[in-house]
Amino acid sequence: MSQASIVGLPSTQSIAVSLQHQFSGKPCRICESPFIAYVRHIPMRRMRLSNPLYYCMECESFLLPQVYMEPVDQLQRDAAWHISVEERNTAWADRFFDAAFQKNPRIQSVLEIGCGTGTLLAVGAKRGLRVHGHDTNPYAPAIALERHGLVLDTTLWSNETAKEQFDLVVCISTFEHLTTPRALMAEIANYGRRTGAEAFISVPFGTERDAWTHLLEAVPTAPTNPLYLSDVHINHFSHKGFQKMAADYRAIEMEPFTHGWAGYWLRF
Ligand SMILES: [Zn+2]
């Protein structure tokens, strides 16, 4: 008996179309699979709304539609948050650079995309690196200048507009906010191929199958629940999803690299 003759069984194509429809007709942002399924609604802390959580059955990542834009006062609080974690992040940045220099002793310059108030770059500069940072938060540059003497760029970084060459591109806690994470991966990959730069990318992993108990919490109440920041963290990458996205942009090396932040060291 052929599959088509089983009464009531929808074709693979029609299943894919109906699941796509639930996510506004869009495929998985991370791996482009059409097979994403609604899981449950997640209450959001910053708005009195709930946001539908979806699961990608191919790359095993979780996704939320973007329904929230940071108001100005929240951006101000976000910038202040970077100061509150400066001591922790300074220690993590030291661990990161120790390991990065071991990995590649030739690194002399660092570009950071989504650098916040410049804590990691300040540590890099103290170690003699030429550093440059981009962050779109309008409150970040004044803090970076005052605390670290760094001049930040508030424009969106892209391979097209990048004039200076850097040995290492760092991008920490940025991809989880983006409606088009693959576009930034493409930019970093193209820059890496064009200039030879290597990259370190970190996202807050933590939604792997063995951690799914977070789905049982009706209202995420602790920052240890990955869904706690569901207003602004709209991509919850699985390792499989992150690796798939990097592979799609022809990463030739992809090494788990956890020194301070958990992420991957990439070469293109
Ligand atoms: Zn996916």
The CATH number covering residue 238 comes to: 3.40.50.150
Q: Are 87 and 215 in the same domain?
A: no
> From the CA of 19, how far away is ligand 1's center (Å)?
13
Residue 43 has what pLDDT? Answer: 86
Compute, in angstroms, the gap from residue 65 CA to the centroid of ligand 1: 14
Read off the pLDDT band of 2 (50, 70, 90).
very low
The mean pLDDT value for 80-95 works out to 92
What is residue 123's predicted lDDT score, i.e. its pLDDT? Answer: 98
pLDDT given for residue 46 in this prediction: 74
Question: Does the pLDDT value for residue 229 go beyond 80?
Answer: yes
Question: Separation of 160 CA from ligand 1 center, angstroms?
Answer: 27
Phi, psi for residue 60 in degrees, rounded to 5: 65, 25
Q: Do 76 and 101 fall within a single domain? A: yes
Q: Which domain holds residue 102?
A: 72-207+232-267
**Average pLDDT, integer, range 21-47:** 84
Domain total in the chain: 2
Its pTM stands at 0.88
CB count, 10 Å around CB of 62? 26
User: Which position has the token pair 């990439």?
Assistant: 266
Together in a domain, 159 and 248: yes
Structure tokens at 209: 């199958």
Question: Are residue 214 and residue 241 in the same domain, yes or no?
Answer: no
Interval between CA 75 and ligand 1 midpoint (Å):
29
How far does the centroid of ligand 1 lie from the alpha carbon of residue 183, in Å?
Answer: 15
For residue 153, pLDDT beyond 80? yes
In 3D space, the residue among 227, 197, 223, 196 whose CA is nearest the CA of residue 212 turns out to be: 227
How far away, in angstroms, is 136 Cα from ligand 1 center?
Answer: 27
The pLDDT of residue 24: 62
- Please indicate, yes or no, whether residues 125 and 48 belong to a single structural domain of this protein: no
- For the segment 121-136, the average pLDDT, to the nearest whole number, is 97
Q: 35 CA distance to ligand 1 centroid (A)?
A: 8
pLDDT digits 0-9 by tens, 169-227: 999 999 999 999 999 999 999 999 999 999 999 999 989 999 899 899 989 988 889 99
78, 174, 176, 222: CA torsion to nearest 10: -40
**pLDDT reading at 22 higher than 80:** no
- Please tell me the distance from the alpha carbon of residue 214 to that of residue 205, in angstroms, as a whole number: 13
Cα-to-centroid distance, 256 and ligand 1 (Å) = 19
Would you say residue 1 has pLDDT above 50? no
Q: Which residues of 19-40 are buried (b: 16+ CB within 10 A; e: fewer)?
A: bbeebeebbbbbbebbbbeeee
CA 51 to ligand 1 centroid distance, Å: 18
Task: Identify the pLDDT of residue 23.
Answer: 66
Distance 173 CA to ligand 1 centre (A): 19
User: pLDDT averaged over the chain?
Assistant: 88
Please tell me the distance between residue 253's alpha carbon and the centre of ligand 1 in angstroms: 21
DSSP H stretches of helix in the chain: 12-22, 72-84, 86-103, 119-126, 140-148, 181-195, 239-248
Using the mean position of ligand 1's atoms as its centre, give its distance from the Cα of residue 31 in Å.
4
Instruction: Check pLDDT > 60 for residue 152.
Output: yes
- pLDDT computed for residue 148 by the predictor: 95
**Residue 226 belongs to some domain of the structure:** no
The per-residue pLDDT for 18 is 41
pLDDT at 10 over 50: no
Q: Are 190 and 214 members of one domain?
A: no
Ligand 1 mean position, distance from CA 240 (Å): 9
Give residue 4's pLDDT.
42
Q: What six digits make up the tokens of 67?
A: 């329904």
Give residue for tokens 């990608």.
Answer: 56
Distance 223 CA to ligand 1 centre (A): 24
Length of the chain: 268
What pLDDT is recorded for position 35? 93
Measure 159 CA to ligand 1 centroid, in angstroms: 25
**Same domain (yes/no): 194, 251:** yes
Do 147 and 168 fall into the same domain? Answer: yes
Do the Cβ atoms of 65 and 51 come closer than 8 Å?
Answer: yes
pLDDT of 155 > 80? The answer is yes
